[in-house]
Amino acid sequence: MPIKVVDQLPAVEALLAENVFVMTESRAAQQDIRPLKIAILNLMPNKIATEIQLLRLLANSPLQLDVELLRLDDHVSKNTSENHLNCFYHYFSAVQHKNYDGLIITGAPLGLVDYEEVTYWQQFADILDWADSHVTSTLFLCWSAHAALYQYYDLQRDIRGEKLSGVYWQQVKQPLSPLVRGFDDAFLVPHSRYAQVAEQKYQQHPDLHILAAANATGAYLLQNTSGSRVFVTGHPEYDVNSLDDEYQRDIAAGIDSVLPENYYPNDDATQPPLKLWQSHAFLLFSNWLNYYVYQATPFDLSQIGQPLASVNLASVNK
């Protein structure tokens, strides 16, 4: 089944060109089905590119999804036109009365800014509190994952001496978790960040479970016991050229950037990289939608926030 989005969203044309099944609102109105309501809080500067990346992964599901794009109330985007935002995005304050089956919060280029100094930190914290009672499961990506771990569990990040940039092997640590069902024992994921949280800090919280990790990257994939919070510290959604775009941008800006590891063939930045992480990215999003959203959410969205039977880590480990 497809994702459902606004007819004129630019991402639709790009995804159709990839043979990704996208259903527009006009066509979906003719079907009698309860789609899953998925919200995306897009904090990335290039919002259109991120829309395409996330919608591509969400579309690879047998479930019909009704996707809404959200924006912060008091933050002005410098890289996306106001016309695009006005046409396709809802202010959070306009939808905070609603419930959603799932929520995705993207990363943001704020790796060297203290959390409390982020201009929209208070609304970000308010959204996390709201999600606990209005969303069945929230998926956090990269910066938002570490920021949410700080807000929920007071886990302060460490800043690396140099940026972690490249494509790294991850090892599955909890193979019985539904979130990694079907994963290979090891799989590749792009990372692009300065932050890292030591594994022993996670171990202080029995509600947190590391599902996949690597020595080079630290914990990559975590969840709380119920699956209502999923933390992804890398960028499985990235396009094949995303790391190259960042690298070339940093060079042009005069930033002392490190060559992304395990990315260019023979570490030659003149050679086009290969996308070696897409299958596991699709599987991660499919598992999240199935086991932690569809299987756990009530049919009546007004019932979100009440105790529900769900597929969680504790139950599958018995």
126-129: long-range contacts, CB 8 A cutoff, minimum separation 24: 127/41, 127/92, 128/152
- The answer to whether residue 250 sits within a structural domain is no
- Which region among 87-96, 124-133, 226-235, 297-306 has the lowest average model confidence (pLDDT)? 297-306
pTM: 0.87
Which residues contribute to the annotated binding site for substrate? 163, 192, 249
Judge whether 142 counts as a catalytic residue: yes
Catalytic residue among 51, 68, 237, 246: 237
pLDDT of 10? 76
149-202 pLDDT, tens digit each = 999 999 999 999 899 999 999 999 999 999 999 999 999 999 999 999 999 999
Catalytic residue among 142, 191, 209, 280: 142
- The answer to whether residue 305 sits within a structural domain is yes
Chain centroid offset of residue 300 CA = 25
- The answer to whether residue 49 sits within a structural domain is yes
pLDDT of 313? 52
What is the rounded average pLDDT of the residues 272-279?
97
What number of other Cβ atoms are within 10 A of residue 293's Cβ? Answer: 29
Catalytic residue among 134, 146, 235, 280: 235
Between the alpha carbon of residue 168 and those of residues 60, 165, 190, 245, 274, the distances in Å are 24, 9, 6, 18, 13
Average pLDDT in the chain: 89
Residue 104's domain is classified under what CATH number?
3.40.50.880
- The answer to whether residue 189 sits within a structural domain is no
What is the rounded average pLDDT of the residues 103-126?
95
Chain centroid offset of residue 287 CA = 13
Which residues contribute to the annotated binding site? 163, 192, 249
What is the rounded average pLDDT of the residues 253-269?
92
What is the rounded average pLDDT of the residues 92-110?
96
The better pLDDT of the pair 287, 2 is held by 287
- If phi over 0 gives left and psi between -120 and 50 gives alpha, with beta otherwise, what is residue 21? beta
pLDDT of 318? 32
Count of domains observed in the chain: 1
E strand spans, 215-296: 218-224, 229-232
pLDDT of 308? 46
Which one-letter DSSP state was computed for residue 180?
A: G
Provide Rg for the chain, Cα atoms.
19
The dihedral of CA 254, 193, 247, 108: what is its sign? negative
Of the candidates 288, 313, 236, 305, which has an alpha carbon nearest to the alpha carbon of residue 63?
A: 288
- The answer to whether residue 252 sits within a structural domain is no
E strand spans, 180-228: 186-196, 208-214, 218-224
What number of other Cβ atoms are within 10 A of residue 154's Cβ? Answer: 10
Judge whether 237 counts as a catalytic residue: yes
26-75 pLDDT, tens digit each = 554 444 467 899 999 999 999 999 999 999 999 988 888 999 999 999 88
Q: Which residue range(s) make up the domain with 225?
A: 3-161+195-238+281-316
- The answer to whether residue 80 sits within a structural domain is yes
Cβ proximity of 41 and 128 under 8 Å: no
- The answer to whether residue 269 sits within a structural domain is no
- The answer to whether residue 186 sits within a structural domain is no
